[in-house]
Amino acid sequence: MLKKLLLTLPTLALYAAAPSGFNEWTASDLKAKAAQLKGAMKNGLASETVANWGTHQMVVIHREKSGQSELHEKQADVIVVRRGSGTVVIGGTIVGGKTTAPGEIRGESIEGGELHELKEGSILHVPPQTAHQVILKAGQTIDYLAIKADGK
């Protein structure tokens, strides 16, 4: 019995504690966060940064209206659509662009970009220095994660 216990203890240590910086969100956690955000929505959008690890962050977003065009000078976006649908415009030139924060440009629209369908399960990578904009038709809603990672 003692021998079996001694052989089991090292294995248990592997499961004792998650490493510092580890986070986990279940599908139900993300669904609850999206519902909470829907209640806090202003101007068709609600978002919350749920984690910031220094070089990358995770933002949960609920949208019921098209967004502004945007460009991040030093960050890439990895977008994971959780629910709903819409369209994203990628590339092109931001119309009426203004710097809203260091490294962040926002505008009215995009001229000359490519349209890509967004639907549940879609995952896309938007490199730094790339204009992008989420477009929703009347009645469309979308819940997604944006993982923002420092680029080169």
pLDDT tens digits for the chain (152 residues)?
A: 666 655 565 655 556 677 887 888 888 988 888 888 888 888 899 999 999 999 999 999 999 999 999 999 999 999 999 999 999 999 999 999 999 999 999 999 999 999 999 999 999 999 999 999 999 999 999 999 999 999 86
8 A C-beta contact, residue 142 and residue 86: yes
pLDDT of residue 150: 94
pLDDT of residue 7: 58
pLDDT of residue 151: 84
- pLDDT per residue over 61-90, tens digit each? 999 999 999 999 999 999 999 999 999 999
pLDDT of residue 118: 97
pLDDT of residue 23: 84
pLDDT of residue 5: 52
Tokens for 13, please give them: 């240590």
pLDDT of residue 17: 76
Cβ neighbours, 10 Å, residue 103: 12
- Domains along the chain with CATH numbers: 44-150 (2.60.120.10)
Tokens for 123, please give them: 């995952």
Cross-strand partners of 62: 46, 143
CA–CA separation, 144 and 44 (whole Å): 14
